[in-house]
Structure 1
Amino acid sequence: MNRVDSPIGVFDSGVGGISTLKVLAKMLPHEDFVFFGDSGNAPYGEKRREEVQRLTNNAVQKLLTHHIKGMVIACNTATSASKPMLLEHYPDLTIVGIEPALKEAVDNGAQNILVMATPLTLAMPKFQRQLRLFSGERHIETLPCSGLAGLIECGAQRLDDVKDLLRRLLSTTSDTQFDAIVLGCTHYPFVKDLIAECIPSHPRFFTGYEGLTRHLTHLLDDKNLLRTGNEHRSIEFLSSSVNPHETDLYRELFTSSIESATQFGR
């Protein structure tokens, strides 16, 4: 296969990366994709950094067997814990990773910002540096959402539990009228409407997906690896879950939402 025609690998700890894949597929309409969800080990957000690095490296090895020309780490936790290691180990592979879109919210003029993410993502040095950089000019609160990604991973069968957890988590924030919410985990956009119901100030949501895709496009273009046409686009779904229907869930979430999906993870 001509390397230009090789697919782009997309990796997440579970179903969350499907939200990123949707934007990638829309903005790069000529590219093939291989998505790998590590649902058998989800969620990552409360694991030790070394364990996340091991699992992420295993995912890269799996995607490399599909002769990918680039890889998107569609998991904030995996990006925070593993991206520097991956760049060192795979210098010839184009690698980008999603990170909490705090700068995007600031650049768009937000003054009162809530960052929702996993405990590990919020604790990582790179995010902490960003937080210190912008906190002097903005009111920024962080909300560690322990357990939320795991519930979302289960699909609509745990939707009531998701709603209860969101109400409890958001009740611990201040009375600030947030004008922006940064969704620092790729699972969270699937329940964005439920989050909005708990925030009366009608904030804007930021994920960073468009910026990530533009960055990937630029890197691939620099290497002359962008496709200019593709009559038979392929998007393949892979999972580490023992549930034989897990990839059915991925496909369904790619075209619908967690509330309307009829197949569920576990």
Structure 2
Amino acid sequence: MSKHPIGIFDSGVGGTSIWKEIHQLLPKENTIYLADSNNAPYGPKGKEAIIELSIKNTEYLLKKSCKLIVVACNTATTNAIDYLRKTYNVPFIGIEPAIKPAALQTKTNAIGILATKGTLSSALFSKTSGLFASNINVVEQVGEGIVELIESGKLYSHEMKSLLKIYLQPMIDANIDYLVLGCTHYPYLMPLLIDLLPNHVKIIDSGEAVARQTRTVLKQHNLLNSQVLNTKNDFFTNGNPDVMQSLLHGKFNVDYLGF
């Protein structure tokens, strides 16, 4: 089992930001990444639809003998991971916006959260926000249109910059000092965000924490791979393979998956 791959899925290419952190921390691990770009973004979809899509992705990865599955999608985590954990007999690692560190470290008593509608409206987000951010000003913004632009290869486009200016202005006006990224697509916006935000604003995403948790759970289940040679990293998408290739800088093959 230890030689079996880690499975990772997202509503699209954004979860490759999580894959990069896992691969950097655990280079001996075999991985399979599944991008359900044909159904991106998950955010506007209802809970039942998100669970159905998460089931489809999970079962595909289980057929590939994955030993652990990372739900590299905030919306799928907040809406479907409880169901997945109850239904399938493999460990699942989920993702949620890093509200806690932002809320604990803010000096201006104001933080911004850029996320999808599905994440911001979820019960898990509400619970986490209530636990750690009830006494501070939390400026929430649905990143409508961002995932679609990234999935269509328009990451650094004029449209993207214009959209981000609109979304960030209320946060700047509120004097936030932390911006929490609540979607795995959003770390790829980092150069734009740094350019648009005041210098004192720190940007937080969940990638490193997810990689560390993945390592912890693999250790707990005695599933760490000790084999050094011939590790494989396979990427599948039902969208445009070129978009994922560009984010991976052409270092890995990306196969089209017609489902």
Q: TM-score, normalised by structure 2?
A: 0.90
| Cα separation, 2, equivalents of 1:35 and 1:252 | 15
Measured after TM superposition, the shift of residue 200 of structure 1 is 1.7
Aligned position for 1:86? 84
Measured after TM superposition, the shift of residue 136 of structure 1 is 3.6
Asked if 1:149 corresponds to 2:147, the answer is yes
Structure 1 outlier segments of 4+, above 4 Å: 107-110
Paired residue type of 1:231: L
Aligned position for 2:23? 25
Paired residue type of 1:101: A
For each residue in 1:115-142, what CA deviation from the matched residue of structure 2 results, as whole angstroms up to 9, or x when unmatched?
1000110011111122222234433211
How is 1:206-225 mapped onto 2 (pairs within 5 angstroms)? 206-225=204-223
Q: TM-score, normalised by structure 1?
A: 0.88
How is 1:141-180 mapped onto 2 (pairs within 5 angstroms)? 141-156=139-154, 159-173=157-171, 175-180=173-178
Paired residue type of 1:253: L
Measured after TM superposition, the shift of residue 97 of structure 1 is 0.9
Aligned position for 1:237? 235
CA contact (8 A) 1:177 1:201 kept: no
Cα RMSD (Å): 1.8
CA contact (8 A) 2:151 2:243 kept: no
| Cα separation, 2, equivalents of 1:109 and 1:178 | 8
Q: Unaligned 5+ residue runs, structure 2?
A: 251-259
Aligned position for 1:250? 244
Q: Unaligned 5+ residue runs, structure 1?
A: 257-266
How is 1:188-199 mapped onto 2 (pairs within 5 angstroms)? 188-199=186-197
Measured after TM superposition, the shift of residue 109 of structure 1 is 4.8
Paired residue type of 1:249: V
Secondary structure (helix, strand or coil) at the match of 1:156 reads: coil
| Cα separation, 1, equivalents of 2:113 and 2:76 | 17
Paired residue type of 1:202: H
Measured after TM superposition, the shift of residue 215 of structure 1 is 1.4
| Cα separation, 1, equivalents of 2:248 and 2:91 | 24
Measured after TM superposition, the shift of residue 158 of structure 1 is 7.0
Aligned position for 1:98? 95
Worse-matched range after superposition: 163-172 or 128-137: 128-137
CA contact (8 A) 1:15 1:37 kept: yes
Aligned position for 2:61? 63
Measured after TM superposition, the shift of residue 171 of structure 1 is 2.6
Aligned position for 2:255? none
| Cα separation, 2, equivalents of 1:193 and 1:149 | 16
Secondary structure (helix, strand or coil) at the match of 1:186 reads: coil
| Cα separation, 2, equivalents of 1:232 and 1:40 | 31
- Going from structure 1 to structure 2, the CA distance change for 1:164 and 1:109 (only over 3 Å counts) comes to closer
Worse-matched range after superposition: 168-177 or 96-105: 168-177
Aligned residues between the structures: 249
Worse-matched range after superposition: 34-43 or 107-116: 107-116
Q: Percent identity?
A: 34
Measured after TM superposition, the shift of residue 240 of structure 1 is 1.9
CA contact (8 A) 1:75 1:98 kept: yes
